[in-house]
Amino acid sequence: MSKDKHLFVERREQGDYAVRRPNSERASAVAPTQREAIERARQLEPNTRPDVERVRHTSVGKPDQWRKA
């Protein structure tokens, strides 16, 4: 098991969201919405802020970039 406590929330091809650890092959959790995936990531590692994949264009970023939750 990885000792890295950092988590990522990313959109999957199926349209739902995966909570993953760096270099993992499988998701730690899957949720239907980005908000629920962020909440699950915070439950898994309460003392860290997960990185969240941008899924749309905004004034501060575009898809395929990351932001802190």
Domain boundaries, the chain: 1-54
Q: What is the pTM of this model?
A: 0.76
Q: How far apart are CA 48 and CA 68, in angstroms?
A: 10
64 pLDDT band, cuts 50/70/90, is: low
When pLDDT is averaged across residues 22-47 and rounded to a whole number, the result is 94
Whether the per-residue pLDDT at 2 is higher than 50: the answer is no
When pLDDT is averaged across residues 54-66 and rounded to a whole number, the result is 64
When pLDDT is averaged across residues 1-30 and rounded to a whole number, the result is 87
End-to-end CA distance of the chain: 24
When pLDDT is averaged across residues 3-20 and rounded to a whole number, the result is 89
Whether the per-residue pLDDT at 1 is higher than 60: the answer is no
